Amino acid sequence: MFGFGKRRDVEGRVKDEGRLPPGQSLTLKFPVLHYGPTPVYKDLSTWTFRVFGLVEAEKTWSWEAFNQLPRRKMVYDIHCVTRWSKFDTEWEGVHIRDLIEAGIIKIRPEVKYVIQHCEYGYTTNTPLEAVLADNFLMATHFDGRPLDPDHGYQLRGLMGALPGEKADTDLYLWKGGKWLRGLEFAAEDRAGFWENAGYSMTANIWREERYRGRW
């Protein structure tokens, strides 16, 4: 296990590289933060993933069918609104842009936002450009293994930043929902769970967009 000196050295390096956003501190662990209980999946034959809203045709996949979709492996720096950051994390999953480019999903021209729908009615809102950017992945694996239940097994929206790059689509980690069950394409923005509680609608990490209004 890395000690404090190792953590400080790594934090200094990523800060010098311009990869540590304002107000953040590096962690070598992977903290677990979410609202509500962790789902338990006993029968994957009942699991489905749905794409709906402003699309030419709604789509629903079983777990088996979802895993036959085109896949990517990505490396992200991830930044939590609670001020921890974890660097060079390795993920695998399905990218929505790949499905659109392959004609598997056809969205309508008026789409500007994507609402992620997760277990227990949890939602979060994301601009379309962020979902289509390389930042966002519908992840099934972390560090070469299936996700742990507390980290979103069996599917999570993963919002990260590409190491060494800065973009308007670099958003805080909560803009990817754990235990993802559907994507709704919409023309209008709609606050999700944490956004309704006062968190930022836009959540850019470099502009430190954590909350709306004054707390």
SS3 125: strand
Whether 12 is in a domain gets the answer yes
In 3D, which of 93, 97, 118, 107 has the Cα closest to residue 59? 107
* Mean pLDDT value across residues 49-60: 98
- Exposed e or buried b per residue across 185-215, where buried means at least 16 C-beta atoms within 10 angstroms of its C-beta: bbeeeebbbbbeeebbbbbbbeeebbeeeee
- Asked if residues 195 and 115 have their Cβ atoms less than 8 Å apart, the reply is no
Q: Which residues pair with 50 in a beta bridge?
A: 60, 182
Whether 8 is in a domain gets the answer yes
Question: Which range (1-5, 56-60, 116-120, 142-146) has the least confidence?
Answer: 1-5
Domain total of the chain? 1
pLDDT surpasses 90 at 213: no
pLDDT of residue 138: 98
pLDDT: is 100 or 28 the higher one? 100
Whether 208 is in a domain gets the answer no
In terms of C-beta distances under 8 Å and separation of at least 24 residues, what long-range contacts does 64-72 make, across chains too?
A: 66/94, 66/155, 67/140, 69/94, 69/98, 69/99, 69/104, 70/94, 70/95, 70/98, 70/99, 70/102, 72/98, 72/137
- Asked if residues 179 and 118 have their Cβ atoms less than 8 Å apart, the reply is yes
pLDDT of residue 52: 98
Q: What percent of the chain has pLDDT over 70?
A: 96
Q: Tell me, rounded to whole angstroms, the distance of Cα 88 from its chain centroid.
A: 15
Cα 206–Cα 210–Cα 213 angle in degrees, nearest 5? 125
Alpha-carbon span 52 to 169, nearest angstrom: 23
Whether 50 is in a domain gets the answer yes
Q: What percent of the chain has pLDDT over 90?
A: 79
Domain with residue 76: its CATH number is 3.90.420.10
pLDDT of residue 215: 43
pLDDT band for 1, please (50, 70, 90 cuts).
very low
pLDDT of residue 31: 73
Query: Six-digit token pair at 82?
Result: 């609670």
pTM as predicted: 0.92
* Mean pLDDT value across residues 119-129: 95
Whether 164 is in a domain gets the answer yes
Whether 202 is in a domain gets the answer no
* Mean pLDDT value across residues 38-42: 82
pLDDT band for 118, please (50, 70, 90 cuts).
very high
Whether 83 is in a domain gets the answer yes
pLDDT of residue 32: 80
Whether 123 is in a domain gets the answer yes
Sheet holding 59-62, edge to edge: 59-62, 48-53, 180-186, 113-118, 123-127
pLDDT of residue 208: 96
* Mean pLDDT value across residues 163-191: 96
pLDDT of residue 3: 52
- Give the residue numbers spanning the domain of 134: 4-32+41-196
